[in-house]
Amino acid sequence: MSTKEFEEWFRYHRIRFTAVDTMLNKAADGPDAVSAKEIKLAWFSALKSCTLDDAKAATDAMHAGLEGDPGWPDRHPAKVAEFCRRKAASRRPATSVYHGGHQAFCCLLCEDYGWVYCWPQEAIAEMHNTGALSTGKASHTVRPCSCEAGDMRAKCFPNVRRYSPYWTLPIGVCGIDDPREQEKLREWLQARKPKNYEDAFADYGGSP
């Protein structure tokens, strides 16, 4: 969840469990008391890997008594997080699928990892301007894939732009220092021939 989505879920949860407000108000008592803001931050840290829909479904299930006794609100994040993990696991294949001894993936680009390892803006710009890369200076960046696994990554890291095949090129298994990978980058740039790559890439968002 993004922070905005968390705020939406938090209000949704408080409406169904009014004891949350009681807990937050009680936290404000005393000079050394933990603040309500700190409590919310801790809750967000525990739930940021959940999707908004799964978190709301967890709240509904707890409110309906389908998840046992909800208990005191300070245990709710653990219950919601556990529910979300079950929901996420239910969407994955029960076991890995193999064809001819090779594991099959839903996404061939990221192999269901959700991240795409790409050439960073600086390396692409250098290759565009000079036709080569400085020895030892090339690095990689990662961007959320455009698949379902990438959707989860993008929700957890809303400030990182999604992978786009127009603005960057994935790095293969040979790695950034391999001449074959650099030649692929050179050919990719020659096919596109951007006139002002740096300005155009800045519009896309640059490096994360």
Mean of the per-residue pLDDT values for the chain?
Answer: 82
* Domain range annotation of the chain: 3-90, 115-204
Residues with Cβ within 8 Å of residue 75, at least 6 apart in sequence: none
The reported pLDDT for the residue numbered 90 is 73
What gap in Å lies between CA 85 and CA 118, rounded to an integer?
A: 29
Q: What is the pLDDT of residue 195?
A: 52
Q: Which pLDDT band, with edges at 50, 70 and 90, does 102 fall under?
A: low
Interval 105-115: pLDDT, tens? 778 888 888 88
Higher pLDDT, 199 or 151: 151
DSSP state of 206: -
* Threshold 0.85, pTM exceeds: no
Quick check: helix, strand or coil at residue 102? Answer: strand
User: 67 with 87: CB under 8 angstroms?
Assistant: no
Q: In whole angstroms, give the CA distance from residue 35 to residue 27.
A: 6
Q: CA gyration radius for the chain?
A: 23
DSSP 19: H
Task: Output 32-41 pairs: Cβ under 8 A, ≥24 positions apart.
Answer: 40/10
- pLDDT for position 96: 59
